[in-house]
Amino acid sequence: MSYARVVAALALALGATSVAAVARPWTLVDAVTTPFMDDVQISPDARTALVEIDRTDITHNAFLTEYRAVAVASGASALMPQDLNRPRWSPDSKSIAWLVASKSGNALLLTNAGGARRRMLQSDGRNVIAFAWSPDGRSIAAIETSGTIAAGSRLFWLTSESDYRGTRPPRRSLWLVDVATGTQREITRDQWSYGGPVTDHDPSWASDGSRVALVRQPTPVYGDFEHAQYVSVNLHDGRVTQIVNHPFFAYPASAAPIFGRGGTIAYTHTWDGKLASREDAFVDGRDVSAALDRDLWSCSNGSMAWQGDTLIAGMMDGSAIRLFALDPTGSSAPKALTPEDGSVVASSIARDGTIAYIWTTSQLLPELYVRTPAGATRQITHLLQLPAGLTIARTKYFTWPDSSGHRLHGQLTLPSPATASSAPLIVEPHGGPQCATPIGFDGIGQYLGSNGYAWFRPDPPGSDGYGDWSYKAIVGNWGPLPMSADLEGVDAVLASGVGDPKRTFIEGGSYGGYLTSWIVTHSNRFRAAVAEVPVTDLGLDYALSESPNITRRFFGDKPLLDPAALAQQSPLDFVAQERTPLLLIVGLRDTRAPYVQAIEFYKALAENGATVQLLADPKAGHGPDDPQGFVAWWSATVAWFARYGGIPIPDGKLP
């Protein structure tokens, strides 16, 4: 069945279900408990796919993960052991290696293809972070850390990459595990860390089993990803060879280097070596994705894998994360493999070239699909369901021209058509800034739309999905240009007949919190605003953040040498102009956008007579990471809007 027919059939089925039951609006509990499918591992023989399904236990404040083994031919599935995670198939498809919780963190455990006949592979108290089978199935290359932190001096050195809390993740090493005996041998014994908080990846084996490709960085500190290297490690003698012998930059959580046939290696970095640039795919030094002018990073959603001699890459195109086939020789043009009206959440490739992938749209929950080497595509699973009777709001791809001649895009979630023109409009700038919200089913969109709000998520210059010009457009210009583009988008939405011009609101987190703060200190356009974990003082944020590289990308190698440039782009310096009722929400464990700057911003606003309040969450970091925290933050947000003319929603509450 074609994609169009699959989508139409499911949409009709979903619509019929909603009509048959008594329609009701979504609650925040509905939004946070929406099930999600976000990983797939297809067996090398293409017969079985392991899919990860995430669910929520709101009562016990826990996110739950389960894996199901899905028969590709029939779609029938079976639940796998629920204490196991992160599965990887053996080359013969007869065994699965998993991670299982241990006293030191995670250990390796083997089962058969059905999840039975368990056998532990001892790691002597170390924590296994990532791993991969050798081509012959006799060994596993594992990235491990010591299970205990050695006692040291009370004092320790901070560096220019350290965050304000002095966070010190453990150093990662490469170990080789004998599958038959379970014995392990440490391969890397230098001072480098073979991975870090945003560079941890499965090792990639050379086809002859002699080497693995890895990412290493000088220390395991988060910010040291900027100084990472792509290397291959000889498993016989531990010799390390750099894959890229010139300076380069790859974003955090970029796709790792992967071996292809005959020792070919694919890897990613910015096409021109500069920080504020598009990240491309390279094969043995050749840029093979430049013709697409799309970013391999895609806010950490980019992916690469070999399909025989073809490189399959996932990247954002417009608002969709799509799979593309790339010719490693560069002699033929890239080819799109998935549609533009949905996003690929994860993918995996079997030995015969079958691609298993998880796909979602704004109307459809993620499910498993396969694409055969001949190009035939079909949906395999129908595992995820919503409670009966929930109203389904429609989200559409929305475009508008900006003043520079670019056609910009975003996503617009609509309330019921009868109330669209009178509905209050919430605008959400995204984080990053080099991110964008991919098309996909969104529980918060359903919550807002079904309760009568229109919800607009614009992608201004600086966003992913456009190409290299977008990133370079905001060098030294974090606030004015994106603000102008977003407000032009709001004008276009209102002109289309959606939203009440007198009841517009704005909310955003991280860079979205920055842009919210910038807009309300430069415009009185909105009735009320909520800024979560915002950047408000660029100089202070640069000095304290775990990721100072974000500032260096757009304000030069040494930003603090030009404090005036940072001040000119900091909402803090414009507090006297702020007239919009503003709620700030911060996490007291935040090392990405440290909360001290929000306190500074709050006090400056209050002393200037602004209507402002500050909520703090002692359990949260860069936003909540638990279901009840997620509900609490959104509950406060909609209650704040209701206080200033928005729609009162029953579960909207302020402390």
Instruction: Tell me the per-residue pLDDT of 286-335, one tens digit each, with 9 for 90 and over.
Output: 999 999 999 999 888 899 999 999 999 999 999 999 999 999 998 899 99
Q: Are strands 504-509 and 204-205 parallel, antiparallel or unpaired?
A: unpaired
Backbone angles phi, psi at 45, to 5 degrees: -85, 0
Centre a 10 Å sphere on the Cβ of residue 350 and count the other Cβ atoms it contains: 23
Say what the pTM is.
0.93
- pLDDT at residue 4 above 50? no
* Res. 147 pLDDT band, cuts 50 70 90: low
Beta strands in 217-290 (DSSP E): 229-234, 240-242, 258-259, 265-270, 279-283, 286-287
- pLDDT at residue 634 above 80? yes
Residue with tokens 């053996």: 90
* Res. 278 pLDDT band, cuts 50 70 90: very high
Lowest-confidence region among 102-106, 151-155, 231-235: 151-155
| Crossing angle (nearest 10°) for helices 443-450 and 627-643 | 30
Q: What percent of the chain has pLDDT over 90?
A: 90
pLDDT tens figures, 442-461: 999 999 999 999 999 999 99
Radius of gyration of the chain (CA): 25
- pLDDT at residue 571 above 60? yes
From the list 255, 235, 232, the residue with the least C-alpha distance to 244 is: 232
pLDDT tens figures, 179-219: 999 999 999 999 999 999 999 999 999 999 999 999 999 99
pLDDT value, residue 16:
34
From the list 505, 513, 491, 492, the residue with the least C-alpha distance to 585 is: 513
From the list 168, 160, 223, 199, the residue with the least C-alpha distance to 592 is: 223
Q: Quote the CA–CA distance of 119 and 128 in Å, as a whole number.
A: 16
Q: Is 510 left (phi over 0), alpha (psi -120 to 50) or beta?
A: left
pLDDT tens figures, 547-557: 999 999 999 99
Mean pLDDT, residues 227-251 taken together? 95
Mean pLDDT, residues 615-628 taken together? 97
Backbone angles phi, psi at 304, to 5 degrees: -145, 145
- Which amino acid appears at position 624 of this protein? P
pLDDT value, residue 148:
65
- pLDDT at residue 12 above 80? no
From the list 467, 490, 350, the residue with the least C-alpha distance to 412 is: 490
pLDDT value, residue 1:
33
Average pLDDT, the chain: 94
Q: Quote the CA–CA distance of 511 and 514 in Å, as a whole number.
A: 5
From the list 225, 263, 436, the residue with the least C-alpha distance to 343 is: 436
Domains of the chain: 395-643 (3.40.50.1820)
Beta strands in 350-491 (DSSP E): 355-360, 367-371, 377-379, 395-401, 407-413, 425-427, 454-459
pLDDT value, residue 150:
63
The two three-digit tokens of residue 473, written as one number: 């457009």
Cβ atoms 531, 553 nearer than 8 A? no
pLDDT: which is higher, 200 or 4: 200
* Res. 149 pLDDT band, cuts 50 70 90: low
- pLDDT at residue 2 above 50? no
Q: Is 194 left (phi over 0), alpha (psi -120 to 50) or beta?
A: beta
Cβ atoms 274, 291 nearer than 8 A? no
pLDDT value, residue 277:
95
Backbone angles phi, psi at 444, to 5 degrees: -70, -40
Q: Quote the CA–CA distance of 304 and 314 in Å, as a whole number.
A: 6
Q: Using CB atoms within 10 A of its CB, is residue 291 exposed (0-12), middle (13-18) or buried (19+)?
A: middle
Evaluated on CA atoms 118, 124, 129, 135, the torsion sign reads negative
